[in-house]
Amino acid sequence: MSAAPLVRDAARDLDVEGAAAVTRLVRSLPARPRLLGLGEALHDERAVHELRNEIFRELVEQEGYRAFALESDCLAGLVVDEYVRTGAGSLDDVMRTGFSHGFWDREATRDLLRWMRAYNEGRPEADRLRFFGFDAPLEMMSAASPRHALLALHDYLAAAGVPLTCARDTLERLLGPDERWTNEAAALDPAQSVGGSPDAAELRLLADDLVPLLTVHAPHLLGATSRAQWERAHLYARTATGLLRYHAIMADPAPARVVRMLGLRDAMMAGNLEAVAQHGPALVFAHNRHLQREVSRWQLADLDLRWWSAGAIAAARLGTGYAFLASVLGAVRHHGLGDPDPGTIEGVLSTLPGNRYVLDSRLLAAAVREARLVQRTDVADNHGYFSFDPDQLGETDGIVFVKDVPGPDRSTS
């Protein structure tokens, strides 16, 4: 049976209805989410980023969304948040220093910050939009030093007069030069990691002693400083302890090393997302694989890796407070992806006359069952695009589809 009629019933044309079609879908969910995840199937596609901006503006203006969270360094993101809230610094400097993973050179991200800053101008503090990076300070081949987060946590507690069991000089001595921590050779060779050293082990114990003080002395700290400073100190605490654990795993030669690193990164993301939810409702933008509800799988050489994504952890903890819209792409010719097979979700969606759609997963599921759609397989040579598995449709709340993704030299308007 043809799936086309059922697909048409589930689809709303974003080029005709605008991003309001997304807000209507969100309103139809069982509960209003505190976090709305918007996935991207392939990093760095401007057409998808521009659509993200449209959706966020609509959610802010019509649904009262007050935060935007991005798959970027959580500590660097503090610079971006300060800019969009207060205008501190220049946009050029913020773009250069406030992001990881290459977001700094994405024009659509610059456009988003410019809009957020203009929206906040003249508004009371409580009504201003917030920006959050929610990724850990990690790159593919390295992890940051815990120095910045650990010393910032210590400084906050010390300045507030909280009795401490270790001196700042002790932390400085144990940390040593940052090059010990950021050595890229450690990604492939556990023996090169500082994470198994006596200094790192002692730092983990000292950090674990500092973190509970944020709760033990919460009444004093919230009175002597501010809730915003206290929350930021929690971010420093999560990041410092997470990085120290990550470095310890990097130093472990056990076979489970890689999957433990992957799992911890997503767990750190999830911890940050739970903090973002306190400032929500928020739109969260990241790769589908970080926001999905199902188990993450990756076949790396002879390793069959499985771990829970940040979205899966957030969904387990927040329940209906978390919703997820996965992105699905048709043709991305500048990445070697042509027209998808008609027996796939991408292929069936490509029969729609327009170029950009949002679809209700509950309605689309009927089309998938009727047509017995299969997963797209023409993506083997593109390691950045993960085709959509029809069996996982029930783990999403909606699908955002772009049929023909323009290349970088083509207009996306």
176 conformational bin, left if phi > 0, alpha if psi -120 to 50, beta if neither:
left
Structure tokens at 358: 């949002």
DSSP class of 298: E
Q: Is the dihedral of CA 299, 300, 302, 306 positive or negative?
A: negative
pLDDT tens digits for range 138-151: 987 889 999 999 99
When comparing pLDDT for 29 and 44, which is higher? 29
Residue 306 phi, psi (nearest 5): -140, 130
For 162-202, write each residue's pLDDT tens digit.
999 899 999 999 999 999 999 999 999 999 999 999 999 99
Cα separations in angstroms, 332 against 126, 367, 380: 41, 24, 14
Domain boundaries, the chain: 4-65+281-404, 143-266
Residue type, 363: L
Supply the pLDDT for residue 385.
78
Average pLDDT, the chain: 93
Half-sphere exposure of 52 (CA within 13 A, CB side): 33
Assign domain 4-65+281-404 to its CATH architecture. Answer: 3-Layer(aba) Sandwich (3.40)
Which is it for the CA torsion 115, 121, 123, 125, positive or negative?
positive
Report the pLDDT value the prediction gives residue 262, as an integer from 0 to 100: 95
| Nearest residue to 237 via CA among 108, 148, 330 | 148
Asked if the model's pLDDT at residue 410 lies above 90, the reply is no
**Continuous H helices in 98-212:** 107-120, 147-159, 168-175, 198-210
d(CA 305, CA 303): 6
Tell me the percentage of the chain whose pLDDT exceeds 90. Answer: 78
Amino acid of residue 370: E
Contact in structure between 62 and 20 (CB atoms under 8 Å): yes
Cα distance between residue 221 and residue 378, in whole Å: 56
If you average pLDDT over residues 39-64, what whole number do you get? Answer: 94
DSSP-based three-state secondary structure for 100: coil
- Asked if 286 and 37 touch (Cβ cutoff 8 Å), the reply is yes
Q: 198-210 vs 168-175: helix axis angle to the nearest 10?
A: 150
Give residue-wise pLDDT tens across range 58-85: 999 999 999 999 999 999 999 999 999 9
Q: Is the dihedral of CA 400, 403, 406, 407 positive or negative?
A: positive
Instruction: Give Cβ neighbours of residue 32 (< 8 Å, ≥ 6 apart).
Output: 26, 281
Q: What is the pTM (predicted TM-score) of this model? A: 0.94
7 vs 262: CA distance, rounded Å: 35
**Per-residue pLDDT tens over the stretch 105-128:** 689 999 999 999 999 999 999 999
| Residue 362 confidence (pLDDT) above 70 | yes
Q: Assess whether pLDDT exceeds 60 at residue 411.
A: no
Cβ-contact 307, 259 below 8 angstroms: yes
Confidence band (pLDDT; 50, 70, 90) for 298? confident
Report the chain's C-alpha Rg in angstroms: 22
